[in-house]
Amino acid sequence: MTSPNAENAKNAVINVQQELNIPVAMRDGVVLVADVYRPDTGAPVPVIVARTPYGKNTEFSYRKAMWWARRGYAFLWMDVRGRGDSEGTFRPHLDEPLDGYDTIEWAAKQPWCDGQVVTWGQSYLGYVQWLTAVEQPPSLKAMIVYVPPSDPFVEWPTGVHLPMEVCWFRLIDGRSLQYVEGIDWDAVYDHLPLLSLDEHAGFHSEHWRDDLSHPPSDTDYWGPKDYQHRFDQVDIPTMHVTGWYDDVQPATFINFARMTRQAPTERTRRGQRLVVGPWDHGLTRRRERTLGPIDFGPGADFDLDGHELRFLDHFVKGQSNGADADPRAQLFVMGDNQWRGEDEWPLARTEWSSLYLSSGGNANTRFGDGTLTWEQPGTDEPADTFRYDPADPVPYLTSPTSHQIGGPDDYREIEERADVLVYATPVLETDLEVTGPVKLELFASSDAVDTDFTAKLVDVHPDGFCQRLTDGIVRGRFREGLDQERFLQPGEVYGFEVHLWSTSQVFRAGHRIRLEISSSAFPKYDRNLNTGGPLATGVESKVAENNVWHSPGYPSRLILPVIPAADATG
C-alpha cells in the first residue's frame, strides 16, 4: 500500500510503502510484530527502529514514521514482547536487551535496509535503547534517546519506587494501554503499605510487587536493569534530549557526560549531542513556549525534528552538512530565555559557588529569619528545628497521574508551613546565571533512627511568585549509599548530600534565590515513616523532630554552578 506525500506537498518526491504486522522471530522463537514505513524508491536505506510497550499503531507513531520515510529513512515500529500484537509475556526491561539486538540485526538483513540501523524513542523507549546498546549489536550505528530513566534508584534514591509510578504499572497492565484517569490517585498514594498500592487502585501488578520486594542491595535482581557503568562498551554516536522539567532528568546528563569521556573512540566521543529545552517529560509530543504558568518567550522555539535529521544525515549517511562541527550541547537558558551552544557538561568555566545557610534558629516558613549568604557564618548559630509528621507530609505540587511529576510551580503557599525551612538571599542587584548540577551539603540530626531530608531550589520573582527550579531528597538509612542500610543515632549530627538535579536559570536582578528544606515531598517521594521499619510493608509511623545545623563546625551550604557574567552570553 502506498501513500502520497500529503505533508509538505510542495516538496513531494517520495511515496511511502507501508508493510504492517510483520512477524519478527526472536532467538527463543517468540514472534514480535512490527510495522514498517519506507521510501518507495527501490533503494535500500538506513532503518530507524522504535520498540514500544505503548502500541505501535497510533496517530503519533504513524506521523513520526511517515515524516522519516519521506526524508529517506525507513521507520520500524514494534510492539515489545507481551504487548500489543507481539507474542510472549511482558516483563518490564528484562527481555529488551536481547529482543532489541535481534530486532536490529533482523532489520539490517532486509532488502530495503542498507545495513545501518538507528534506534529512536522516549522514556521507556529510551531506556531500552541503552539496555540494547550495551549488548553491542553490530548493525546499530546511532541512537536518538529522549528522556530515558537512569539505572534503578538514581531518580528514586529512597530505595523504592516513587508512589506515583504505580500509575505507570496500571497503564501497562495487560497487553494494551489502560485508562488511568478514572482512578482517585491521590487517595491511592495516601494508602499504606506501599506494597499494596496496586490493589488499592483496583488492580494487581506482579511487576510492582516484585520490584518493591527486592531491596536496592539485591544486585542479582536489579543488575540486569543497569547500563550506566558500561559506556566504554558503546561505540555509537548518540543524540540525548531532555527538558529542565523532565521528571527523569538526571539520566540524560549522566549519559551525555559519561559518553563524551568514556566512549571507546574519539569519533563517538565527539559524536555525542545534547539538547535541553524548557520542557517536561512529554517533550516528544508537546514543545510549546509555555510550561505551566511560565512563558519562555519566542526564543524557546527549537526544531528538534530538523536537528535529528541533520544528526543522522551526517553520522549515518555520511553527508558533509557541518553537523560534526556543531556544538555538542544546545541548552535553553531560562530567565534569559535563549538557546546557547556549549561543548561539555558541566560547563568547563563553571564557578562552583557556595551559599551558606544562616538563621537565628527560626527559619520556619518564608516569614522566618533564614538567609543564604556567600560568607560562611563566623559564629555558632542555633539549629533550625521542625516536626516532620508522616501523616501530614509536605505536598509536592503535581498532577495526579505519573505522566509528568511537577513543573515550574508556585510554592509560596507551601512555604507557609512550619515544617518547611526557608533560606533566601537578599534581592539580587545584578543578574546571576546558574547552569549545571545543584547540590546541598547539609548538616542535620533527628530524634528518629531514620528520616528524610528534602531540598528545593526556587526563583522568587518580584511579585512573590516562587518558581520551583529543581529539587532532591536523601534518605537517612541510605546516606552512604544504597548497598546497605545504616540507621541514624538519634541526636547525632550527620553530613548529608542532597542532589537537586540540574537547571539553567538566570536569576534576574530584583529576584531572590531561595532554598526550601523539609523531610517530605509527597507524593513524588514515599513518606519516610521514621521508624526504621521495612519500606515496602511498613504502616506504623512516628513524628520526628529534625534539626538543620549551620555554624563554623557544621557549615551547611548550597553549591551552585555559577556561570561568570562575562561568559553568560557567550
Q: Residue range 307-318: average pLDDT?
A: 97
Can you give the residue range of the structural domain that contains 522? 351-563
Rounded distance, CA 38 to CA 71, Å?
Answer: 10
The per-residue pLDDT of the chain, averaged, comes to: 95
Q: Using one digit for the tens of pLDDT, what is the confidence trace for 247-266?
A: 999 999 999 999 999 999 99
Contact 400, 170 (CB under 8 A): no
> HEC states along 167-182?
HHHHHCCCCCCCCCCC
Q: Are 108 and 46 in contact (CB under 8 A)?
A: no
Give the per-residue pLDDT at 6: 38
CB 168 within 8 A of CB 402: yes
* CA–CA distance, 221 with 216 (Å, rounded to integer): 9
pLDDT tens for 486-538 read 999 999 999 999 999 999 999 999 999 999 999 999 999 999 999 999 999 99
For the cut 80, the answer to whether the pLDDT of residue 189 exceeds it is: yes
pLDDT-based confidence at residue 284 (cuts at 50, 70, 90):
confident
pLDDT at 270: 97
Examine the fold and report which residue of 127, 146, 165 is the final residue of a domain before the chain moves on: 146
pLDDT-derived band of residue 13, with 50, 70 and 90 as boundaries?
low
| Active site (annotated) includes residue 191 | no
Comparison of pLDDT for 570 and 269, the residue scoring more: 269
Contact 357, 527 (CB under 8 A): no
> Looking at residue 231, what is its pLDDT?
97
Pseudo-torsion of CA 531, 534, 539, 542, nearest 10°? Answer: 10
Question: Is residue 540 one of the residues assigned to a domain?
Answer: yes
Q: Which of the listed residues 146, 166, 191 is the one where a domain comes to its end?
A: 146
- Taking residues 389-410, report their average pLDDT: 97
Question: Rounded CA gap, 296 and 336, in Å?
Answer: 9
What is the pLDDT averaged over residues 34-57?
97
Whether residue 130 is predicted with pLDDT greater than 90 in this model: the reply is yes
Q: Are 114 and 312 in contact (CB under 8 A)?
A: no
Query: Has residue 58 been placed in a domain?
Result: yes
Q: In the numeric block, which cell numbers belong to residue 258?
A: 559519561
Q: What is the pLDDT of residue 288?
A: 85
Residue 382 confidence (pLDDT) above 70: yes
Domain closes at, from 121, 146, 171: 146
pLDDT on residue 565? 87
Active site residue 314: no
pLDDT digits 0-9 by tens, 427-478: 999 999 999 999 999 999 999 999 999 999 999 999 999 999 999 999 999 9
Catalytic annotation on 354?
no
Residue 222 confidence (pLDDT) above 70: yes
The DSSP-derived string for 16-56 is: EEEEEEEEEE-TTSPEEEEEEEEETTSS-EEEEEEEESS-S
Asked whether residue 35 is domain-assigned, the answer is yes
Q: Which of 35, 79, 198, 246 is catalytic?
A: 246
pLDDT in tens, 472-481: 999 999 999 9
pLDDT at 7 over 90: no
User: Is 499 within a domain?
Assistant: yes
Residue 391 falls within a domain, yes or no? Answer: yes
61, 123, 519, 551: which one is catalytic?
A: 123
CA nearest to 547, candidates 404, 444, 397: 444
Specify the pLDDT at position 10.
37
Whether residue 285 lies inside any domain: the answer is: no
Residues 517 and 453: their CA atoms lie apart, in Å, by: 7
Number of helices and strands (H, E) in the chain? Answer: 11, 24
Percent with pLDDT over 70 in the chain: 97
CATH of the domain at 96: 3.40.50.1820
Burial class (CB in 10 A: 0-12, 13-18, 19+), 389: middle
Coil, strand or helix: which one is 456?
strand
Beta strands 329-333; 384-388: pairing state: unpaired
- Which of 61, 150, 235, 281 is the catalytic position? 281
Cβ 156 vs Cβ 405: under 8 Å? no
Sign of CA dihedral 477, 483, 484, 489: negative
Which whole number is the average pLDDT over 77-88? 98
Angle subtended by helix axes 124-133 and 96-108, to nearest 10: 80
CA nearest to 521, candidates 358, 388, 408: 388
Partnered with residue 453 across adjacent β-strands are 474
For residue 8, pLDDT beyond 50? no
Residue 533 placed within a domain: yes
Residue 512 domain flag: yes
Question: Structurally, how many domains does the chain consist of?
Answer: 2
- 546-555 per-position pLDDT tens digit: 999 999 999 9
Contact 179, 201 (CB under 8 A): no
CATH code assigned at 544: 2.60.120.260
Q: Which pLDDT score, from 0 to 100, does residue 383 have?
A: 98
